[in-house]
């Protein structure tokens, strides 16, 4: 029996994943890198997931199980971190899976430069229509370089085609556990804030000295509406507002505050656009109901201010048209163009 601390702790939150957990665990147990511990955190799952966790633990001494009261994804990860002993730590979701060489390549690449975190990429082969952004490979060290990465995590410049430059998730990273424990870092609850992974990474990178990104598409993200990352509170609008206030506080000591604010507004406008598109595609609402819903979104004082101050005129044409119509509250035209787009 090996009593030395493992090189990697793998924390897997578990909730209503009895269909997916075997695939996830199979991908972890078949890793070419075997110096790890797996911490399964049962978040009071109502299906057979909890019993499955116990069965896995009985078969392999490297697997530990925590059974806890339901509190969501972020809190489950925190529970796993509390008992983790690895040099690095990873947070795959229990309904996803990884390529066999993921942790061998990630650990070796991190150790080559003593990186505090190593980021790899999504593998979208299960969803051919899903567009995945690959961040430039590199080693980023020092305040200036890390702030550039954080800028790209928050959002993109007005001229950029995509709203994001860094497709972010805590699932496709290994983090140095010592940095987390020394600075008492914890995940916030996704029931309180949206984009909890962005908040986590901003908090982590403020304490990191060096990170590395590699282009390998190792992480298979799979859609599961019952998972912890999808079971959130219904008050989405309030969680969005709270999230942006939270992030604004986090960037208060960054060098180029104006650049961070502009990137953050780009992401906020993306949320506005998503809400507008959701209204357009809602088949349960008639024209008048959709018009009222659009009015509520566009007439919001924060949206009005953003559309007035943000340089959306520098964005790509398809974004400019929508934001121009929203700026001048042309609700009927927005709905008409949305209907045309659906037919095309």
DSSP labels, 23-92: HHHHHHHT-S---EEEEEEE---SSTHHHHHHHHHHH-TTEEEEE-----HHHHHHHHHHH---SEEE--
Quick one: pLDDT band at residue 326, thresholds 50, 70, 90? very high
CA distance 227 to 231: 6
pLDDT at 235 over 70: no
Summarize the confidence of residues 295-306 as an average pLDDT.
90
Quick one: pLDDT band at residue 229, thresholds 50, 70, 90? low
CA distance 48 to 240: 33
Rg from Cα positions in the chain: 21
Q: Give the per-residue pLDDT at 226.
A: 54
Least confident span in 208-212, 247-251, 256-260: 247-251
Q: Give the per-residue pLDDT at 13.
A: 97
Return the higher-pLDDT residue of 174 and 2.
Answer: 174
Tens-digit pLDDT profile for residues 38-52: 999 999 999 999 999
Residues 189, 196 contacting (CB under 8 angstroms)? yes
pLDDT at 1 over 60: no
Q: How far is CA 224 from CA 99, 106, 141, 255, 281, in A?
A: 19, 26, 36, 39, 21
Quick one: pLDDT band at residue 26, thresholds 50, 70, 90? very high
What length does the chain have? 344
Give 258-265's long-range contacts (Cβ < 8 A, gap of 24+).
259/151, 260/150, 260/151, 260/154, 262/157, 262/158, 262/310, 263/151, 263/154, 263/155, 263/156, 263/157, 264/154, 264/155, 265/155, 265/306, 265/309, 265/310
Strand partners, 98: 219
pLDDT at 73 over 60: yes
Q: Give the per-residue pLDDT at 233.
A: 45
Q: Give the per-residue pLDDT at 10.
A: 98
Quick one: pLDDT band at residue 341, thresholds 50, 70, 90? confident
Q: How far is CA 334 from CA 83, 162, 312, in A?
A: 52, 21, 17
Q: Give the per-residue pLDDT at 342.
A: 73
Task: Pick the closest to residue 217 from 107, 97, 111 (CA basis).
Answer: 97
Domains detected in the chain: 8-220 (3.90.550.10), 256-343 (no CATH)
pLDDT at 227 over 70: no
Quick one: pLDDT band at residue 100, thresholds 50, 70, 90? very high
Report percent pLDDT > 90 for the chain: 72
Average pLDDT value for the chain: 91
Q: Give the per-residue pLDDT at 196.
A: 87
Summarize the confidence of residues 128-138 as an average pLDDT.
82
Q: Give the per-residue pLDDT at 344.
A: 64
- Please, is 37 exposed, middle or buried when counting C-beta atoms within 10 Å of its C-beta (0-12, 13-18, 19+)? buried
Tens-digit pLDDT profile for residues 163-202: 989 988 999 999 999 999 999 999 998 888 878 899 999 9
- Tell me how far the alpha carbon of residue 271 is from its chain's centroid: 15
CA distance 151 to 111: 25
Helix, strand, coil percent values for the chain (each to nearest 5):
45, 15, 40
pLDDT at 232 over 60: no
Report percent pLDDT > 70 for the chain: 94
């Amino acid at each position: 029996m090996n009593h030395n601390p493992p090189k990697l702790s793998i924390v897997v939150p578990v909730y209503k994943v009895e269909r997916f957990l075997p695939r996830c665990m199979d991908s972890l147990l078949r890793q070419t890198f075997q110096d790890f511990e797996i911490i399964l955190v049962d978040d009071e799952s109502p299906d057979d997931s909890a019993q499955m966790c116990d069965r896995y633990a009985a078969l392999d001494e490297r697997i530990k199980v925590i059974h806890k009261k339901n509190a969501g994804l972020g809190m489950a990860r925190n529970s796993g971190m509390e008992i983790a002993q690895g040099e690095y730590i990873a947070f795959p979701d229990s309904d996803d899976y990884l390529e066999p060489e993921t942790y061998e390549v990630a650990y070796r690449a991190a150790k080559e430069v003593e990186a505090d975190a190593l980021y790899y990429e999504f593998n979208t082969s299960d969803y051919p229509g899903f567009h995945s952004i690959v961040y430039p490979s590199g080693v980023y060290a020092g305040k200036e370089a890390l702030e550039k990465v954080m800028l790209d995590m928050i959002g993109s410049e007005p001229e950029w085609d995509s709203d994001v430059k860094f497709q972010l998730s805590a699932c496709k990273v290994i983090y140095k556990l010592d940095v987390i424990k020394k600075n008492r870092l914890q995940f916030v609850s996704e029931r309180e804030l949206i984009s909890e992974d962005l908040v986590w990474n901003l908090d982590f990178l403020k304490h990191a000295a060096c990170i590395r990104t590699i282009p390998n598409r190792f992480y298979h993200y799979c859609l599961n509406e019952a998972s912890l990352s999808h079971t959130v509170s219904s008050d989405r609008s309030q969680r969005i507002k709270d999230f942006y206030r939270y992030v604004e506080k986090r960037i208060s000591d960054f060098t180029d505050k104006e650049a961070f604010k502009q990137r953050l507004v780009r992401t906020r406008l993306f949320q506005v656009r998503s809400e507008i598109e959701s209204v357009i595609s809602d088949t349960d609402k008639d024209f008048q109901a959709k018009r009222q819903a659009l009015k509520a979104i566009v007439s919001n004082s924060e949206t009005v201010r953003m559309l007035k101050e943000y340089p959306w005129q520098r964005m790509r044409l398809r974004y400019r048209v929508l934001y121009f119509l929203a700026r001048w509250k042309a609700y009927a035209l927005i709905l008409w163009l949305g209907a045309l787009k659906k037919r095309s």
